Amino acid sequence: MRRALIAVALCALVAGACSSEDDAGGTTDATVAATEAPADDPPETDPPATDPPATDPPATDPPATDPPATDPPATDPPADPADLAVTEVVFDDRLTITNLGTEPIDLDGVWICNRPSYAPLPAQMLAPGESIDFTDLPLPAGGGEAALYNGNSFADSSTIVDYVSWGAGGGRASVATDAGLWPANDAVQTTAASIAAPNGGSSSADWS
């Protein structure tokens, strides 16, 4: 009987020890489990925004500009061709044209007429008091004319600037009469090889 009680007591002690070990083992396992549980990933966050590096704009040349326009220095215009005059006619040879004014005259654009022949004067300046001889026109002694024009509108009385008629007369006499430069039906009588009017003439009486 006594042996039986001892055996029961021993069994009770062994059972208590096993129970304590089980409790201790459970606690250890829980701790390990808690330790070994994977850690949660931190929440994803966007990287802080950064401004792009500043860059200078590409260099550009300024637009080209024309230099300011400047007017040429003012110059006095040539005198009006109205101061030109036929001052001598040498028949079958030449006629003389003189600047009777006080300013230079540009002969460019001035024409001489003995209808039906026409010719431009040479493009040159004629000083005051200066004369030029012209030979590119037929000058028959029997009759003709010398008419100076500012331009080549030969029927226009506003462009004729001087006139002389001799012998049988010429074809532009009416234009000169309309311009007040020569009397109607008037002509210088030719008794010599030439006629002259050094200061110009506005009728046959001024010529000799």
Do 104 and 30 share a structural domain? no
Please give the residue range of the domain that contains residue 14: 1-34
In this structure, which amino acid lies at residue 16?
G
The residue with tokens 């009777």 is 100
pLDDT mean by block of 10 residues, the chain; 208 residues: 46 44 43 47 63 67 63 56 96 97 96 96 96 96 97 96 97 97 97 96 96
178 vs 136: CA distance, rounded Å? 27
What's the pLDDT at 52?
Answer: 62
Do 25 and 98 share a structural domain? no
What's the pLDDT at 66?
Answer: 62
Assessment of whether the complete model's pTM goes beyond 0.75: no
The strand ranges marked E within 41-187 are 84-90, 94-99, 105-106, 110-114, 117-120, 125-126, 131-134, 143-150, 160-167
Do 195 and 96 share a structural domain? yes
Do 30 and 89 share a structural domain? no
Do 99 and 17 share a structural domain? no
Do 179 and 113 share a structural domain? yes
172 vs 161: CA distance, rounded Å? 12
Do 27 and 89 share a structural domain? no
Do 20 and 86 share a structural domain? no
- C-alpha distances in angstroms, 69 versus 64, 75, 77, 137? 15, 18, 22, 46
Q: What is the CATH number of the domain that holds 143?
A: 2.60.40.1260
In a domain, 1, yes or no: yes
What's the pLDDT at 80?
Answer: 75
State whether residue 190 is helix, strand or coil.
coil
Tokens, residue 188: 């210088």
Give the count of domains, the chain: 2
What's the pLDDT at 135?
Answer: 95
Spatial contact of 185 and 202, defined as CB atoms under 8 Å apart? no
Pairing relation of β-strands 125-126 and 194-196?
A: unpaired
What's the pLDDT at 30?
Answer: 38
Do 160 and 96 share a structural domain? yes
In a domain, 135, yes or no: yes
Give ∠ CA 164-166-169 in degrees, rounded to 5.
Answer: 95
In a domain, 74, yes or no: no
